[in-house]
């Protein structure tokens, strides 16, 4: 029996190793107590100790009869299976959902892909940037007159991918409590990223909120919702949308009085942005933090990853955890009775599967 803590303690997850969103899904479940057995190729080394934490690793050759037989054994006792291969790969291995659900009708079979299991592009190679490109998400990010700016791989792989896959898994597990049956979760990044764009899809045609690049209140055009450089070259962020928050920002920053009028008039935004840019260049980031942080100005410094770990609020929240000499992001979300935890990975996957098979 697993001794992991968390609200998912006792959940048995079989993960087929991959890159990007699949491993992140398994990390989310493992952090909250699920017992995850990660199947990987022989000789595979841990490439990301943070995302690949809390696994029981098992090296198998999926091209061998023995390797595939062990996978079927593990799936027969698992609650959840996560795979991120191109459509058809698992079927050709004899490990597709039809076969595994026949042996284990309660299995939730999660398929994490970019394009989805069907459609004209289903068999094409791709990455985060391509998946968010066809959803309208990438087009919205960047400066007017310039090419779109990839937002790392946060919007596709993790926002539209792993988070929706994890949500789908939990929804399928909830439904299983009523029906007693598992099912296939087709988690496509294009679907998740499209869902992330729901808010913008619903406000099409409105002048203040638009996905036209570099325009609109949220796209970097408004002087009260953007980033500015400071005297030391570092940056700060403003999100002072509401009139009362905007007024507090202006007062605390010592901004020119003329900025108090016409906040929501786009004709003023460029000029007001220039004035704020000149103002924020007069002090360092730390000095602006002293003046604005913790107020209702809707302010925060723009921090690099290592700086974020040292920020007082993030430290107070224990947002980062040191584990065996390595800094990790803390499990999220948080639970009052059954908190998650950061755990080590172990090369004992075969032992865990044997225990599952024995019903322990």
In a domain, 267, yes or no: yes
Q: Number of structural domains, the chain?
A: 2
The reply to whether 129 and 276 lie within a common domain is no
**Where residue 3 falls among pLDDT bands split at 50, 70, 90?**
low
Domain of 250 in residue numbering reads as: 227-307
Query: Is residue 178 domain-shared with residue 135, that is, in the same domain?
Result: yes
Percent share of the chain, pLDDT over 90: 96
Length of the chain: 360
Say yes or no: 122 and 237 in one domain.
Answer: no
- 150-204 pLDDT, tens digit each: 999 999 999 999 999 999 999 999 999 999 999 999 999 999 999 999 999 999 8
pLDDT band at 35 (very low <50, low <70, confident <90, very high): very high
Structure confidence at residue 265 (pLDDT): 96
| Shared-domain flag, residues 105 and 165 | yes
Query: Is the same domain home to 299 and 326?
Result: no
Do 118 and 39 reside in the same domain of the chain?
yes
HEC assignment per residue over 81-106: EEECCCCCHHHHCCCCHHHHHHHCCC
Residue 327 within any structural domain of the chain: yes
The structure's pTM equals 0.95
Q: Which residues are catalytic?
A: 127, 157
CA dist 175 and 38 (Å) reads 25
The verdict on 180 and 327 lying in the same domain is yes
Chain Cα centroid distance, residue 358: 35
Q: What is the CATH number of the domain that holds 142?
A: 3.40.50.10540
DSSP bridge partners of 93: none
Per-residue pLDDT averaged across 265-292, rounded? 98
Residues 146 and 257 in one domain: no
Same domain, 130 and 59: yes
* Residue 155 in domain: yes
């Amino acid at each position: 029996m697993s001794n992991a803590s968390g609200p998912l303690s006792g959940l048995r997850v079989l993960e087929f190793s991959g890159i990007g969103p699949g491993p992140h899904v398994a990390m989310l479940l493992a952090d909250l107590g699920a017992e995850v057995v990660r199947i990987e190729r022989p000789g595979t080394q841990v490439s990301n100790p943070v995302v690949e934490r809390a696994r029981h690793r098992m090296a198998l050759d999926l091209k061998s009869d023995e390797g595939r037989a062990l996978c079927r054994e593990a799936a027969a006792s698992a609650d959840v299976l996560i795979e991120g291969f191109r459509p058809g790969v698992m079927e050709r291995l004899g490990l597709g959902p039809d076969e595994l659900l026949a042996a284990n009708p309660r299995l939730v079979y999660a398929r994490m892909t970019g394009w989805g299991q069907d459609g004209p592009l289903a068999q094409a190679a791709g990455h985060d940037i391509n998946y968010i490109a066809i959803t309208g998400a990438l087009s919205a990010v960047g400066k007017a007159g310039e090419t779109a700016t990839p937002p790392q791989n946060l919007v596709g792989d993790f926002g539209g991918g792993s988070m929706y896959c994890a949500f789908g898994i939990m929804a399928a597990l909830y439904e299983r409590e009523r029906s007693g049956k598992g099912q296939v979760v087709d988690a496509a990044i294009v679907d998740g990223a499209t869902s992330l764009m729901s808010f913008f899809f619903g406000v099409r045609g409105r002048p203040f909120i638009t996905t036209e690049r570099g325009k609109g209140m949220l796209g970097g055009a408004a002087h009260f919702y953007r980033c500015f450089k400071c005297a030391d070259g570092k940056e700060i962020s403003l999100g002072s949308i509401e009139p009362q928050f905007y007024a507090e920002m202006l007062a605390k920053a010592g901004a020119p009085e003329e900025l108090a009028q016409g906040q929501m008039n786009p004709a003023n935004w460029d000029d007001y942005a220039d004035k704020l840019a000149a103002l924020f260049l007069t002090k360092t980031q730390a000095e602006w933090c002293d003046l604005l942080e913790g107020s209702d100005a809707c302010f925060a410094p723009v921090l690099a990853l290592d700086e974020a770990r040292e920020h007082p609020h993030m430290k107070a929240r224990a947002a980062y955890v040191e584990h065996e000499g390595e800094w990790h992001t803390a499990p999220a979300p948080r639970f009052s009775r059954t908190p998650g935890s950061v755990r080590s990975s172990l090369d004992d996957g075969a032992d865990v599967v044997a225990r599952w098979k024995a019903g322990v």
